[in-house]
Structure 1
Amino acid sequence: MADNKKRVLVLFAHPSQRRSEVNSPLFKVAQSVEGVTTVDLYGEYPDYHINIDLEQKRLLEHDVVIFQFPLYWYSTPSILKEWQDLVLEYGFAYGSDGIALCGKQFLCAITAGGMEGAYKADGFNQFKIRDLLSPLEQMANLTGMKYLAPFALFGSRTAIEDNKVDRHVAAYELLLKAFVDGNVDLDAAASREKITVATIGHVLKEGES
């Protein structure tokens, strides 16, 4: 891979993949993108015995870290919390000597069952989607990573009926390729509340979309 290419790590967490109508095709397209390393955390660690050394090595080898998951109770599936608790150790990811992740880019690729309008202060869920993910934003801040707005699909329960899946998968592929090629406008991506199919063009450098 050319020196100017970025190395992207997708950590995928879905505890019930056989029932997944959106995340499974998203992960499948991620697996097809050159320059992207994909890890199925539930597939690799069904007993939750996470290989800390291996996961830290993966982090060191990549420039962009993506958590891909369905939003469960306004948070991540449990294995991602376990992964953070074990892998992001003091002295590695944070603390005076914990600089391993400094300068990397981080974002979440999420699916949410609620409709987009539900995720606002006066909506059903009372918070914006970025606000609900604030613990992950602070994790990125503490570890020195640049936090980017989540790439989100809303209304995932009816995504097939609403013909959303193919467009979202195509947009995810475009975003991943843009990360590999260094064609994401990081300041634009960091400043937004969320990135969707409708707004992805605003975070890609000219010519990428």
Structure 2
Amino acid sequence: MKTLVIIAHPHLDQSRVNLSWMKRLQEDTSITVHDLYAVYPDGKIDAAAEQKLLLEHDRIVFQFPFYWYSSPALLKEWQDIVLEYGWAYGSEGTKLHGKEFVIATSTGGPAAAYQAGGYNQFSMSELTKPFHAMANLTGMRFLPSFTLQGVRTLTDEQIAESAEALVNYLKQQM
């Protein structure tokens, strides 16, 4: 199974978690790592090139820090530009049908903050529903997310362990 990890972090060089994850993912030859902010520093996305990448892979992963209850802006722009009507959805838009989709995300706040009655009032499952809806609309199979929470308090060793766990998770046949 060929896996494409689309990373969206506007300050990846300052990220302990997402940078660690990316470096570990790059060591695995069965995983293609695609850093949107590095490829498109001007924000001008090449839809044809991105669609070609999607077609070449069986599992699509969005990796991002959880920003304001969603993804960083360039990933949303990517969705708007790349997932075109007639290509990704609509009666003729079947190019992604049957592919698997995973979210790999991190939160600064602890898991307890992301539940009913918690600081943020909603679970991660509830907050990531738009991504699930996107997968459904485009014919992809939404797989359980890989989420690391409370990252502000994690040691370097815990972050390295999470990077290894992410690679293992993405290599599983689900």
The answer, yes or no, to whether TM exceeds 0.5 is yes
Is residue 2:46 matched to residue 1:69? Answer: no
- The answer (yes or no) to whether the contact 1:33–1:176 under 8 Å persists in 2 is no
Q: Residues 42-80 of structure 1: CA distance to partner in whole angstroms, max 9, x if unpaired?
A: 000000111110000011111000000000001000000
In 2, Cα distance between equivalents of 1:133 and 1:151? 12
Report the 3-state secondary structure (helix = DSSP H, G, I; strand = E; otherwise coil) of the residue aligned with 1:68.
strand
In 1, Cα distance between equivalents of 2:138 and 2:57? 15
Report the 3-state secondary structure (helix = DSSP H, G, I; strand = E; otherwise coil) of the residue aligned with 2:63.
strand
> Over aligned residues, Cα RMSD in angstroms?
1.0
- The answer (yes or no) to whether the contact 1:94–1:143 under 8 Å persists in 2 is yes
State the one-letter code of the partner of 1:167.
E
State the one-letter code of the partner of 1:115.
P
| Aligned equivalent of 2:99 | 104
Aligned residue among 77, 102, 107 for 1:82 = 77
- TM-score, normalised by the number of residues in structure 1: 0.81
Is residue 2:9 matched to residue 1:14? Answer: yes
- The answer (yes or no) to whether the contact 1:22–1:159 under 8 Å persists in 2 is no
State the one-letter code of the partner of 2:165.
A
In 1, Cα distance between equivalents of 2:68 and 2:117? 19
- The answer (yes or no) to whether the contact 1:33–1:177 under 8 Å persists in 2 is no
**Alpha-carbon distance, 1:173 to partner:** 1.7
**Alpha-carbon distance, 1:177 to partner:** 2.6
- The answer (yes or no) to whether the contact 1:8–1:62 under 8 Å persists in 2 is yes
Q: Residues 10-55 of structure 1: CA distance to partner in whole angstroms, max 9, x if unpaired?
A: 0001101121011101011111112111101000000011111000
| Aligned equivalent of 1:172 | 166
Q: Counterparts in 2 of 1:17-56, with a 5 A limit?
A: 17-56=12-51
Aligned residue among 125, 128, 133 for 2:128 = 133
Aligned residue among 76, 80, 87 for 1:92 = 87
Report the 3-state secondary structure (helix = DSSP H, G, I; strand = E; otherwise coil) of the residue aligned with 1:22.
helix
State the one-letter code of the partner of 2:86.
G
- TM-score, normalised by the number of residues in structure 2: 0.97
Query: Number of paired residues?
Result: 174
In 2, Cα distance between equivalents of 1:47 and 1:14? 14
| Aligned equivalent of 1:154 | 149
In 1, Cα distance between equivalents of 2:158 and 2:116? 25
Percent identity (aligned): 48
Any gaps of 5 or more consecutive residues in structure 1? 1-5, 185-209
